[in-house]
A = this chain, B = another copy of it.
Amino acid sequence: MDKKSEEGITAKKDENFSEWYQQLILKSGLADYSDVSGCMILRPLSYAIWEKIKELCDIEFKPIGIRNCYFPLFIPEKAFAKEKEHVKGFTPEVAWVTQAGNTKLNERLAIRPTSEAIMYESYSKWIRSWRDLPLQLNQWNNVVRWEFNNPVPFFRTREFLWNEGHTAFATEKEALAEGKKIREAYESVVEECMALPGIYGRKTNKEKFAGAVFSEKIHYMLPNGRVIEGPCFHHDGQNFAKAYNIKFLNKEGKEDYVWQNTFAISTRMLGTMFAMHSDDKGLILPPNLSENKIVIVPILFDKTKEKVLKESEKIAKELSEFNPIFDCREEFSPGWKYNQWELRGIPIRIEIGPKDIENKSVVVVKRTDSKKQFIKIKDLKEKIPAILEEIQIELFNKAKKLLDSSQKKTENKKELIKYIKEKYMVMVPLCGAEKCEDVLKADTEGAKTLFIDPKNTSIKGKKCIICGKPAIYWVYTGKTY
C-alpha cells in the first residue's frame, strides 16, 4: 500500500463533489495521474473491472454476429479527411505524429480518435457482393482525443479505452434491427452489472455524431447534477459508404452502397459507476463487478490468536467462490483494516473474533450501510449470495431514485434557468433550429440538449422555449461532463 492510499477521503460527496471524486479515485487506488497531462493510469483495481466489462459485452455481442479485430493506431491524413462532417468534428482534437526516429514523415499521421477512416478503407476493399454482408467488426482499443479542457479521471482524459463497433449491412432495415440489439446488449451490461439505470434517447441533429444520420446514447445523472453520456449507437445510413466508396452487388446484381452503424462503450462508464455508488468512506462496487466480494478480518488477541486465525482461514476456504481477501496482517489493527477495505469498496466484510467463534457465528457487515448482522458459520455460504444480491439491488435503486427525482419539465425560460441551476435535467419544447440550442446553452450557462423525449409527449400547440416559434419536440437539457 502506498502511503497516500492509507489516508481516508477528507472531502464530502455532498459538499464538494469534485474534490471528493478526485480523492476517491486516487486514494482507493483506482487510478493515478501520469506525467502526460490528461492521460491517466488505470491501476489493477479499475482495470480488472474494465476487463470484466469487456468480457460481458463480448458475450452480448457474439450472438449478434459481431467479431473482434484490430486496426492500426495511425490514420493517414488523406484517409482521415474523406468524410467531411467527420473530419470537421474530430480535427480540433487530433494528435499528430510527424516524426519517426530522426526522419520527418512525408504525411502526418493522425492517432485514431475513432477508426471509421481506416476501417472503411478496408471495408471498401473487402466488400464486393451481398455474400460479404453483413460485416460486423468490433475493436477494443485505445483512442486519443486531445481535449483542452481540464481533465477529470475517467470522464475527460486525452487517451481512453473503449470498444468501437463498425458494421455494414445490405439494407437499412437490417442496420436498424442491429441497433435494437446493441441497445439491449449495452443496457444489460450497465444495468445488471454496473447497477446503473439511465435514459436511452436520441440526440438532436446538432448533437449527433459527426457523420451520422442519427445518434442515440444512454444518459446518466450523477449526484452533482452533471449528466453523463454513456454507451452510444450511431446509425450512419450510407454517409460513410458514399465517402469511402463501400459498394456491393446486391442479390439482383445491382450496385448499392452499404448501410452502416457504429457503437461504443468507454472507460468513462467506470467513472460514472464509481461516482454514482461510492460514499464518504470510499469506493462502493456493485458485487457483480467486484473481483473480491468479501474481506475477512480476524480479531486477534494474544491468547486466542491461533484459534481465531485457524477458524478464519477455514471460513476463507469455504467461501472461496466469493474470492475473499483474508487480511491476517498483524501489523495493522482491525479498525485500520476496516477503513482500508471500505476505501477500496469490498462489498462484504466478515469480522471474526474469539467470542464469535465460541458462538459459532461471525459478524457480517454490508459496505452500503455498515449494518452488522450475526450469521452462523454453517449458514454463511448459503446466505452470502442473498446479501450480495441485496447490495446490488440497493445500488441500482438508489441510482434510479436519483435519476427519477432529477427531472423537471417546463415551457418557461426563467424556470428552465432556475432548474438547471438547481442541477436538474429539464424537458423543454424546442423548434429544432440549431441556433436555439446555442442560445439555450448561453442562457443557462452551459446546459446542452441531451436527448429527444423518448416518451413522445404531445407537442401540439407548444412553442419553442427559446424563439417562441412552433415547437417540434420535447427535448431534455442539462449540464454534462
Residue contact A159 to B67, C-beta cutoff 8 Å: no
Find A35's partner among B41, B118, B137 (CB 8 Å cutoff). Answer: B118
A189 at interface, CB cutoff 8 A: no
Find A47's partner among B1, B68, B98, B111 (CB 8 Å cutoff). Answer: B68
A17 at interface, CB cutoff 8 A: no
Residue contact A73 to B41, C-beta cutoff 8 Å: no
**Copy count, this protein chain:** 2
> Considering the chains assembled together, what is the distance between the CA atoms of A339 and B45 in angstroms?
48
> Considering the chains assembled together, what is the distance between the CA atoms of A34 and B118 in angstroms?
8
> Considering the chains assembled together, what is the distance between the CA atoms of A41 and B421 in angstroms?
48
Residue contact B1 to A137, C-beta cutoff 8 Å: no
Cβ-closest chain B residue relative to A140: B51
A101 at interface, CB cutoff 8 A: yes
Cβ-closest chain B residue relative to A291: B67
Cβ-closest chain B residue relative to A144: B73
Main secondary structure of the interface of A (DSSP, over half): mixed
Question: With A122-B32, A142-B141 in contact, is A96–B93 under 8 Å at CB?
Answer: no
> Considering the chains assembled together, what is the distance between the CA atoms of A126 and B6 in angstroms?
12
Residues 180-195 of chain A: 1 if any B CB is under 8 Å from the residue's CB, otherwise 0? Answer: 0000000000000000
Query: Which of A266-322 touch B at CB < 8 Å?
Result: none
Residue contact A72 to B132, C-beta cutoff 8 Å: no
> Considering the chains assembled together, what is the distance between the CA atoms of A108 and B32 in angstroms?
22
> Considering the chains assembled together, what is the distance between the CA atoms of A67 and B48 in angstroms?
8
Specify which chain B residues have a CB less than 8 angstroms from the CB of A70 in the assembled complex. Answer: 41-42, 47, 50, 142, 161
Residue contact B102 to A95, C-beta cutoff 8 Å: no
A338 at interface, CB cutoff 8 A: no
> Considering the chains assembled together, what is the distance between the CA atoms of A100 and B111 in angstroms?
10
Specify which chain B residues have a CB less than 8 angstroms from the CB of A76 in the assembled complex. Answer: 35-36
Residue contact A72 to B2, C-beta cutoff 8 Å: no
A146 at interface, CB cutoff 8 A: yes
A39 at interface, CB cutoff 8 A: yes
Residue contact B68 to A51, C-beta cutoff 8 Å: yes
A67 to chain B, nearest CB (A): 4
A91 at interface, CB cutoff 8 A: yes
A75 at interface, CB cutoff 8 A: yes
A418 at interface, CB cutoff 8 A: no
Residue contact A74 to B39, C-beta cutoff 8 Å: yes
Residue from A34, A51, A125 having most chain B Cβ neighbours under 10 A = A34
Residue contact A159 to B74, C-beta cutoff 8 Å: yes
A386 at interface, CB cutoff 8 A: no
Residue contact A93 to B100, C-beta cutoff 8 Å: yes
Q: Offer 28 A-B interface pairs, CB within 8 angstroms, sorted by A.
A: A1-B132, A2-B125, A34-B121, A35-B75, A35-B79, A36-B75, A36-B76, A39-B72, A40-B72, A44-B68, A47-B68, A48-B67, A48-B68, A73-B142, A73-B144, A74-B159, A92-B101, A92-B102, A93-B101, A94-B101, A95-B99, A95-B100, A96-B97, A96-B98, A98-B99, A101-B146, A101-B148, A142-B142
Residues of chain A at the chain B interface (Cβ within 8 Å): 1-3, 32, 34-36, 39-44, 47-48, 50-51, 67-76, 78-79, 91-103, 108-109, 111, 118, 121-122, 125-128, 131-132, 137, 141-142, 144, 146, 148, 159, 161
Given contact pairs A2-B125, A93-B100, a sample of 5 additional A-B residue pairs in the complex whose CB atoms are under 8 Å apart: A43-B69, A47-B69, A73-B159, A96-B97, A97-B111
